[in-house]
Amino acid sequence: MFFASSLIACWQDAVTGFDPQSVDGQNSGIFLWIALAIGVIGLLIALLFARSVLKSDNGTTEMQAISNAIREGAEAFMGRQYTSIAIIAAVLAVVLYIGYRLSPFTAPMANKVVISFLIGAVCSALSGYTGMFVSIRSNIRTASAARTSLGRSLQIALRGGAVTGLVVVSLSLLGIGLLFLAFGGLTNPRAIPYQLVGFGFGASLVALFAQLGGGIYTKAADVGADLVGKVEAGIPEDDPRNPAVIADLVGDNVGDCAGRGADIFESTAAENVGAMILGAGLFPVFGIKGILFPLIVQAINIIASMIGVSIVHSKEDEDPMHALNNGYYVTSFLALLGFAAAVYFMLGARWWFLACGLVGIVMSFLFVRITEYYTETRYRPVQSIAEASLTGPATNIISGLAVGMETPAMPVIVIGASLLLAYYFGVRGLADVHIAAYAKGIYGTAIATMGMLSSSAYILAMDTFGPITDNAGGIIEMSEHTEEVRGRTDKLDAAGNTTKALTKGYAIGSAALAAFLLFSAYLETIREIVQHRLHDAGLLLPASWSFTNINLASVPVFVGALLGAMLTYLFSSLAIKAVGRTAEHVIQDVRAQFKENPGIMAGTSKPDYGRCVRIVTGAALKEMILPGALAVLMPLAVGLSFRHLSPSFHIGTGEAYVPSINGVAINLGGAESVAGLLMVGTISGILLAMLMNNGGGAWDNAKKYIETGAHGGKRSEAHKAAVVGDTVGDPFKDTAGPSLHVLIKLLATVTLVLAPLFL
Amino acid sequence: MFFASSLIACWQDAVTGFDPQSVDGQNSGIFLWIALAIGVIGLLIALLFARSVLKSDNGTTEMQAISNAIREGAEAFMGRQYTSIAIIAAVLAVVLYIGYRLSPFTAPMANKVVISFLIGAVCSALSGYTGMFVSIRSNIRTASAARTSLGRSLQIALRGGAVTGLVVVSLSLLGIGLLFLAFGGLTNPRAIPYQLVGFGFGASLVALFAQLGGGIYTKAADVGADLVGKVEAGIPEDDPRNPAVIADLVGDNVGDCAGRGADIFESTAAENVGAMILGAGLFPVFGIKGILFPLIVQAINIIASMIGVSIVHSKEDEDPMHALNNGYYVTSFLALLGFAAAVYFMLGARWWFLACGLVGIVMSFLFVRITEYYTETRYRPVQSIAEASLTGPATNIISGLAVGMETPAMPVIVIGASLLLAYYFGVRGLADVHIAAYAKGIYGTAIATMGMLSSSAYILAMDTFGPITDNAGGIIEMSEHTEEVRGRTDKLDAAGNTTKALTKGYAIGSAALAAFLLFSAYLETIREIVQHRLHDAGLLLPASWSFTNINLASVPVFVGALLGAMLTYLFSSLAIKAVGRTAEHVIQDVRAQFKENPGIMAGTSKPDYGRCVRIVTGAALKEMILPGALAVLMPLAVGLSFRHLSPSFHIGTGEAYVPSINGVAINLGGAESVAGLLMVGTISGILLAMLMNNGGGAWDNAKKYIETGAHGGKRSEAHKAAVVGDTVGDPFKDTAGPSLHVLIKLLATVTLVLAPLFL
């Protein structure tokens, strides 16, 4: 049907004598080639960064032994995880193919959707794998450099992170760009974006399972190791006597690095596809340039981030955050310059769209600052949790939850203001064009989203910096070094914790903004489908008709909305319970090892790290299936069942036109209730994710704050209470919260792909 | 403007020769008189129940001393609380009056809205006060009867509760019925329901502050008493040496009894007003009978519940829950019979509407059962929390939160199915009538809501039973009785805890169903307002136009939706933090008392209970202002600011008609974004309330389960962990959760009252 779409577009062009070149000028295709070239350059630079990291010193034999154990564990997990995901993806590809073949409307599209789905999945997996591959090699080199210089150590960790950032953005750009080219985008640009939805879905699917599996792994190992190590056996964190310690360090890599890599890949891919669909809707205005604009923004992102990463240098006595923030400001500024150039060359110097891009950049800045306020020790929220710890774990938890529930307030106001401003600027930017105001405004919000994502490669580098420094700290801790060296890694580790929290704020902000763009792409896709059904029946859809009415007062939409919100709660519950059950396995194994081999605690013999790694690997992979399946199946079930509901559920809109074939109105009930599920599910998911991310981050730092000596310091009762809060926060901020980001985007891409089945 | 509305309705009737009597038959007004008479009977029966409770034996002097201390504390709190609320209500009445006078459209309505607002507020306050008045007198009589007989003791507690239930429902019925009569409902029935919205708002406003203030009080006293008593001083619960023990017992009365009384009063009032507005919309079909139907259902509720309460008898060795459940089944069955009669006499024997009522009754049954599953010790959820307590407080909390997040799943499916079924039955029930399918379906959901609330007086009796038995247990505990007597009160207390949890499930279910009804009333009210503006300009609104399009794809609606969802989080956060801060005052006072007077712990001198009561009273009242103000001001701010947004934010609906005056389209942006806030705020509030209510209940019972000997029993490490969970759950289930029920309904009534200001 999408295929049919392209035929019609051609036909329409032929009939009306409409020539894309007349809008575009002779050589607009050049922008695609520029974007692709920069994508290749991005990969090459990533390779250079990787070489520069890999050729640094890799420490003592003792350090290498630990690092190798982490590497083997991580590689074994990723190998098994990707095998599981590959099986799931293959099954889904077959289901998707059959589903599309079943209806004459969709059959012609089946091949392209499945191909782009598989390519999206492979690129997403590659992104995640690269993140892990580099970070488990950067950790030891960061640790080794920390023995002599803070600045060098910071540089290695950030460049290791930058490899992930650049690879993710480049792969997304190349994957979409090449598919666009291969599907004939340069000759028939208007129809191709709809055919790329499979790419976004493939990316989301892999991202969901990568984030879920990795998230369950990392926190189960962490909680398990802490409970049985710190609490039961009374040994410190990262103590080599703890059989779960390697599993814990492996977790940082497979959860944070691989998971977040796939997450941001998905964001970029979904946003690109969505923005290209909206660009196709504005084809009469911008021609192919409007469709290629998102790819050029990603190219700008690659260059700006690369420069940003290169300039980061830290002095020995400086706070590492200072240097990292400077890099971020430089990147944002360069991205803004690039954005201005792109608006000038591609959007006909309609400067209101630069204002839209600026809205996105400012919004990402504000999100990072708000997250900082809620999770850093120097502000009231974390201090209030630390203070509440004085009266025990119960008040610590109550206070942390209260902080978590407070956190959505400011970001929601920022999102609301950004959407309204970007919409308004979009309408102004196209004031002279005769299309619906809605299409103009929505394009404005899409440009804002691109603005927000125009520094994503740098943000991702900062994010991956976190687990690398965390691991480096662990390696130093386990291999006995001086106080001075530990001081350096502690400093880097603290900066890493901050960047991890801040980038989560950024990730949820971009998910929120992208969500609105993806809704709009979904609505536009449904309109496109209706237009084709009518065309196949020899009818014409009035140009003024659009599928832009998701009426909450309609019972099916309201029920869809309720189900969408419920999905986010149930999904979080399943993810958290999965961590609990998996941690249980870790605890039992550690207890068993202590019992079987008393030499471990005495320090005379080594525990069997691998056994723990294997156990948590198997359990985490088993546990990721149920929540993952729920996320895919629920929109499908809602769409298919509401499609068959009696038309009496629909609200007659008076005189408004309803498309019909042979006198039978097209039943939009399924598509509408899915839209309700998608939109309200997204709203609920955003708020819940903020609660969990920021609550978890605040608990974590309240503990750290007490460890710096406040309220009695380490080993005080307040500290014990704060440890409880920190443990509760772990599955919040590292499993359920980040998985919700991915869920939100998966909901958007799964509804895009399944849209034809809902009508 | 509403006043104008009635004039127009008269005028239209005169012009078209439409005669309500022709639809109604000669004597339909008789239904109003029947309802009013039963309302009076309800009050008389409540008086009889109260007398029967008051004349029972009121125990030993020692018991009376304790009971008197509770009574004095509760009365002092309620006195000061109602003074504060009266000031707030008076200020709001003035603001409302001025707001309505400002515009020529609304000025004629100002008097009626303010009068009904004040009467609603007074009735709500009376309901809450009665609940507290009787329960603080029933507790000692229940305790006294427990010295000889379980059955008698149960009867006293339930009848004490029934006084509240009957008074609440009767006052709501009489208040609305008499206002309807006084405003001229019998001569001009069609226009009056719109004039009663003030009553619902007054009721909600008082309920919000009553529930917030009482909820903060009860949990601050409880948490404070526990933390400093059990944890620091190592004395058992309800120990007379604890200076906060009376404050704790006072809290049960002012929070649970008074708060819930005002809550259910508000539900009934809001639902009655909303259903009457929808009935007015169907005036051509049912005439005045459709408008009076909700009042008759409340009359049925009074009779059915009265009989249900009377037949409850429990044998000495029986589980009290068994007897209470039997009463509930009898009440439901009688309500169903009454419903059938009402459908026969008032809705022209359209039996599909009986099916709608049945949907509501079945839904309330399912909600109670689902809540039971999540909060009773014999099922998996509570047991999983108890088991998780073995590995410490952190896993107890994680597991409780996971259970809490799982709880919305089944209820949401039940709500969804109920809405769809009731809608469908409504459409079938009016198949032969030529009105929009939407109006038919919505009336079906309204009937289902009435079905659900048709046993509310009994449910409220069961609910108030909880704090009465809790107090009775406390009195027995403090005044040294035999094991056997304690065994009886423990049994009743356990049953009371169960009923409290179950009725919370019922309350949130009815809030969810009523919410949809209230949305519809809001939409209908906006249509009515638009009609008047046009009429005043000499124009006619096409009959086919309705304000039923709340388009989530429109940016202002989406932003309103985001803000609504955020409001529920921020409100909960403020409520929880208020508990924490108030508890801090309690802790400090108890510590001070122990220090000032060492005789307290030695048991040689009495603590100053009153000082603690005064401190927590002052603090709770101060803390309730901010969250309460937020709930009222946010919809107002959103409505007023979005009203002035550029019309370019609106989605052109193609050919659809947009009402306009002098060529200027009426800007519906403010009304739409408020609708988005209301609907999505409600969805988010429902889920969050379920999470908190059921999570809190599960934690509570996990602790109780361990206390029965599981996992090491009392004083084990698992028990300590479970106490942490219980403490965390307290502000969830007794402050934030119940306050959210009220918030949801307040949002609905405040938007109804402020609707004219949004256009």
For A466, the token pair is 């976190």
Q: In 3D, which of B379, B413, B393 has the Cα closest to residue B509?
A: B413
Chain A residues with beta carbon closer than 8 angstroms to that of B723: 394
Q: Decide: B672 and B557 in contact? Cβ < 8 Å.
A: yes
For A588-599, give the DSSP string. Answer: HHHHHHHHH-TH
Residue of B223, B227, B228, B395 for testing the chain A interface, max A β-carbons within 10 Å: B395
In Å, what is the CA distance from A141 to each residue of A57, A146, A253, A706, B217? 6, 8, 15, 30, 57
What proportion of chain B, given as a percentage, has pLDDT over 70? 95
**CB of A445 closer than 8 Å to CB of B649:** no
Task: Tell me the two tokens of residue A244.
Answer: 């779960």
pLDDT band for B648, please (50, 70, 90 cuts).
low
Q: Report whether B634 contacts B677 (CB < 8 A).
A: yes
Statement: residue A88 has pLDDT above 60: yes
* B13 pLDDT higher than 60: no
Instruction: Report CB contact under 8 Å: A550, B552.
Output: yes
Which DSSP helix (H) or strand (E) runs through A162? helix A150-182
Candidates A523, A652, A686; nearest CB to B438: A652
Nearest-neighbour CA in chain A from B359: distance (Å): 16
Position A604 confidence tier, pLDDT thresholds 50, 70, 90: confident
Name which of B394, B416, B542 is nearest A559 (Cβ-Cβ): B416
Give one DSSP letter per residue of B584-634, joined into a string. Answer: HHHHHHHHHHHHH-THHHHTSS---HHHHHHHHHHHHHHHTHHHHHHHHHH
Inter-axis angle of helices A483-536 and A437-452, to 10 degrees?
Answer: 160
Alpha-carbon gap, residue B335 to B450, rounded angstroms = 10
Q: Measured between CA atoms, how close is B413 to chain A, in angstroms? A: 7
Q: What is the ipTM of this complex?
A: 0.89
Mean pLDDT of B748-758: 86
Rounded-to-5 percentages of helix, strand, coil across chain A: 85, 0, 15
pLDDT reading at B12 higher than 60: no
Nearest 5°: the CA angle B202, B208, B211 is 135
Contact A153, A483 (CB under 8 A): no
Name chain A contacts of B216, Cβ cutoff 8 Å: none
Residue from A278, A384, A519, A653 whose CB has the most chain B CBs within 10 Å, to mutate: A653
**CB A355 within 8 Å of CB A450:** no
- Residues in B closer than 8 angstroms to A557, CB to CB, are 552
**What is the distance between the alpha carbons of residues A454 and A448, in angstroms, rounded to a whole number?**
10
- Nearest partner of B493 among B238, B184, B198, judged by Cα: B238
Q: What is the pLDDT of residues A26-35, one digit of tens each?
A: 578 889 999 9
**Average pLDDT score over chain B:** 86
> Would you call A645 and B427 a contact, using CB atoms and an 8 Å cutoff?
no
pLDDT digits (tens, 9 = 90+) for B61-70: 888 888 888 8
pLDDT band at B689 (very low <50, low <70, confident <90, very high): very high
User: Please, which residues have CB within 8 angstroms of residue A213's CB and are 6 or more apart in sequence?
Assistant: A81, A84, A85, A254, A620, A621, A624
Contact A561 B680 (CB under 8 A): yes
User: pLDDT tens digits for A340-395?
Assistant: 999 999 988 899 999 999 999 999 889 988 998 998 888 999 999 999 998 889 88
As a whole number, mean pLDDT of residues A507-525 equals 83
Per CB-CB distance under 8 Å, the chain B contacts of A748 are: none
What pLDDT score was predicted for residue A173?
Answer: 94
A558 and B399: CB-CB below 8 Å?
no
CB B464 within 8 A of CB B161: yes
Distance CA A678, CA A517 (A): 12
d(C-alpha B645, C-alpha A417), whole Å: 12
Mean pLDDT of B432-452: 87
**pLDDT at A223 exceeding the cut of 80:** yes
Q: Which helix (H) or strand (E) holds B660?
A: strand B660-661
Q: Would you call A552 and B552 a contact, using CB atoms and an 8 Å cutoff?
A: yes
Q: Are A550 and A675 within 8 A, CB to CB?
A: yes
What's the pLDDT tens digit per position in A227-280? 787 777 778 777 878 888 888 888 877 777 777 788 888 888 888 888 898 888
Contact check, Cβ <8 Å, A416/B559: yes
In this prediction, residue B35 carries a pLDDT of 94
Q: Which positions in chain A touch B424 (Cβ < 8 Å)?
A: 646, 648-649
Distance from CA of A290 to the nearest CA of B (A): 22
CA atoms within 13 A on the CB side of B9: 24
How far apart, in whole angstroms, are the C-alpha atoms of residue B415 and residue B366? 10
With tokens 């109003």, the residue in question is B32
Residues of A in contact with B223 (CB under 8 A): 394-395
Q: What phi-psi label fits residue A662: left (phi over 0), alpha (psi between -120 and 50 degrees) or beta?
A: left
| Band of residue B492 on the pLDDT scale cut at 50, 70, 90 | confident
Nearest CB to B523; choose among A388, A553, A558 = A553
- Count the Cβ atoms, other than its own, within 10 Å of residue B329: 12
φ and ψ of B543, to 5 deg: -60, -25
Distance CA B583, CA B69 (A): 20
Please state, in angstroms and rounded to a whole number, the distance separating the CA atoms of residues B753 and B96.
9
Cα A666 to Cα A1, A546, A548, A557, B551: the distances in Å are 16, 13, 15, 16, 19
B168-206 in b/e burial notation, b at 16+ Cβ within 10 A? bbbbbbbbbbebbeebebbebbbbbbbbbbbbbbbbbbb
Contact at CB, A399 and B580, closer than 8 angstroms: yes
In the chain, the amino acid numbered B326 is N
Distance (Å, whole) CA A322 – CA A313: 10
Interface mutation vs chain A, best among B370, B401, B677, B699, most A CBs within 10 Å: B401
Contact A437 B650 (CB under 8 A): yes
**Over the stretch B45-60, which tens digit does the pLDDT of each residue have?**
999 999 999 888 888 8
Residue-averaged pLDDT of chain A = 86
Asked whether the beta carbons of B572 and A405 are under 8 A apart, the reply is yes
- Mean pLDDT over residues B180-206, rounded? 87
List the structure tokens of B327: 């009463």
Which chain B residue's Cα is nearest to A686? B562
Q: What span, in angstroms and rounded, lies between the C-alpha atoms of A1 and B409? A: 36
User: For residue B583, is pLDDT > 50?
Assistant: yes
> How confident is the model over B112-144, as pLDDT tens digits?
889 999 999 999 988 888 888 888 889 889 989
Contact assignment for B654 to A520 by CB distance below 8 Å: no
| Tokens (6 digits) for A445 | 């919000």
Tokens coding B253: 């009365």
pLDDT range class, residue A646, cuts 50, 70, 90: low
A554's tokens: 């309609």
Q: Where do we find the tokens 């609990």?
A: A580
pLDDT digits (tens, 9 = 90+) for A187-219: 888 888 888 888 988 998 888 888 888 888 888
A577/B724 Cβ within 8 A = no
| Cβ distance of B398 and A576 shorter than 8 Å | yes
Q: How many C-beta neighbours within 10 Å does residue A749 have?
A: 30
Size of interface A-B (CB pairs under 8 A): 302
Report the length, in residues, of chain A: 759
| Min distance A254 CA to chain B CA atoms (Å) | 22
- The pLDDT assigned to A20 comes to 41
Structure tokens at A327: 């890099």
Any idea which residue has 């019992």 for tokens?
Answer: A595
Instruction: Report the 3 state secondary structure along B62-98.
Output: HHHHHHHHHHHHHHHHHHHHHHHHHHHHHHHHHHHHH
Asked if B422 and B486 count as a contact pair (C-beta separation under 8 A), the reply is no
Q: Decide if A173 contacts A298 (C-beta within 8 A).
A: yes
DSSP lists the bridge partners of residue B551 as A551
Cα–Cα distance, B135 to B104 (Å, whole number) = 48
Say whether pLDDT at B336 is over 80: yes
User: Given this model, what pLDDT does residue A150 score?
Assistant: 87
In contact, A272 and A297? CB cutoff 8 Å: no
Chain A contacts of B643, Cβ < 8 Å?
Answer: none
In the block, residue with structure tokens 């938007």: B751
* Closest Cα in chain A to B679: A552
Give the 3-state DSSP-derived string for B134-160, with helices as H, strands as E and coil as C: HHHHHHHHHHHHHCCCHHHHHHHHHHH
Q: Is B550 left (phi over 0), alpha (psi -120 to 50) or beta?
A: beta
Least confident of A548-552, A622-626, A709-713: A548-552
Asked whether the beta carbons of residue A406 and residue B549 sit closer than 8 angstroms, the reply is: no
pLDDT at residue B654 in the model? 47
For residues A334 and A13, the model is more confident at A334
Which residue does chain B place closest to A420, by CA atoms?
B555
A416, A424, A691 ranked by CB distance to B562: nearest: A416
Residues of A whose CB is below 8 A from B404: 573
Chain A residues within 8 A of B513 when measuring between CB atoms: none
Instruction: Find which of B281-295, B633-647, B678-692 is predicted with most confidence, using mean pLDDT.
Output: B678-692
pLDDT number for residue A11: 40
B648 and A520 within 8 Å at the Cβ level: the answer is no
pLDDT in tens, A268-326: 888 888 889 888 888 888 889 989 999 999 999 999 999 999 998 888 778 888 889 99
| d(CA B139, nearest CA chain A) in Å | 30
CA-to-CA separations, A485 to A135, A142, A148, B430, in angstroms, rounded: 20, 11, 8, 80
pLDDT at B20: 41
**Computed over its alpha carbons, how large is the radius of gyration of chain B?**
26
pLDDT at B607: 85
Residues of B in contact with A399 (CB under 8 A): 577, 580
pLDDT confidence of residue A609: 84
List chain A residues with CB under 8 Å of B550.
551-553
The 10 Å CB-count burial string (b at 16+, else e) for A23-43 is bbeeebbebbeebbebbebbb
Q: Chain B: nearest CA to A321, how far in angstroms?
A: 30
Closest CA to A312 of A299, A303, A325, A302: A325
Distance between CA B110 and CA A50 in Å, rounded?
Answer: 73
Q: Which residue has the tokens 């910096």?
A: A465
List of chain A residues whose C-beta atoms are within 8 Å of the C-beta of residue B735: none
Most confident of A10-24, B348-362, B580-594: B348-362
Average pLDDT over residues B490-501: 84
Give the whole-angstrom CA distance, residue B702 versus residue B725. 9
Strands (E), B362-463: none
Q: Are A654 and B657 in contact (CB under 8 A)?
A: yes
Instruction: Look at residue B651 in the predicted model and tell me its pLDDT.
Output: 57
Q: Categorize the per-residue pLDDT at A599 as very low, low, confident or very high, splitting at 50, 70 and 90.
A: confident
Chain B residues within 8 A of A519 when measuring between CB atoms: 553
Q: Which residues in chain B touch residue A544, judged by CB atoms under 8 angstroms apart? A: 652, 654-655
**Angle ∠(A639,A644,A648) on CA atoms, nearest 5:** 115
Check CB contact under 8 Å for A546 and B654: yes
CA distance B664 to B661: 5
Segment B302-313 mean pLDDT = 92
Can you read off the two tokens belonging to residue B491? 């049994």
pLDDT-derived band at A437, boundaries 50, 70, 90: confident
B697 has pLDDT over 70: yes
Residue A13 reports pLDDT greater than 60? no
Per-residue pLDDT band for B620 (boundaries 50, 70, 90) equals: confident
Q: State yes or no: pLDDT of A674 exceeds 70.
A: yes
